Amino acid sequence: MLEAVEIETGRNPTGTVLWLHGLGADGHDFAPIVPQLVESHERPLRFVFPHAPVRPVTINNGMAMRAWYDILGFGRGIPHDEVGIRASDIEVGALIVRENQRGIPTNRIVLGGFSQGGAISLFSGPRYPEKLAGIMGLSCYLLLEDLLPAERARANYSTPLFLAHGNQDPVVDFRRGLEAKQLLEAGGYPVEWHAYTMPHSVCPQEITDIATWLRKVL
């Protein structure tokens, strides 16, 4: 089981947000924004921010860092690290099961993340065999998208998706986020799409929009 930073916004949480960080970060990265997502008088939630395993990353000259999978390059036609992706998918499933064991049903769990973490969320969420409350992908893209039609689970066909991307992103091209939106919509998923004037980051309006969406799905 991956180690994680956990924050509960009140006693006896009624839902969980499982939030995956980006490349080279860790579970502490997004923990500070929790007070902006849930106000003190609202339903209590548990936020789980797991730490990705440490592994060599090809695009960073093989330097070892926290990563959900290896990245060989960003251009079209460069293969994805399927072994690493599927290993992280198994880790995500184990975290969901642990929440079930702690009394949170799967339909009260949101799976989301930023950049690499968002890409894993968009990979694992549609494939998970039990219905999730929601799936969130921030400044990210689809992994192994050609396999999605054959591998997606019927339980999450109608699960709400929140996708957001900065139109000045120099790391993950805005067009990759837009392609993810279009492909998921073509698959029948209910996508809520947001574009922001920002680079590869999160902005105040985005945090506000995430908070509003979480209130709807949880």
What residues are annotated to the active site? 115, 169, 200
Whole-Å CA distances, 202 to 22, 196, 207? 12, 9, 7
CA distance 136 to 214: 10
Task: Compute the distance between CA of residue 199 and CA of residue 213 in angstroms, rounded to an integer.
Answer: 22
HEC sequence for 106-150: HHHEEEEEECHHHHHHHHHHHHCCCCCCEEEEECCCCCCHHHHHH
Residue pair 38/138 in contact (Cβ under 8 Å)? The answer is no
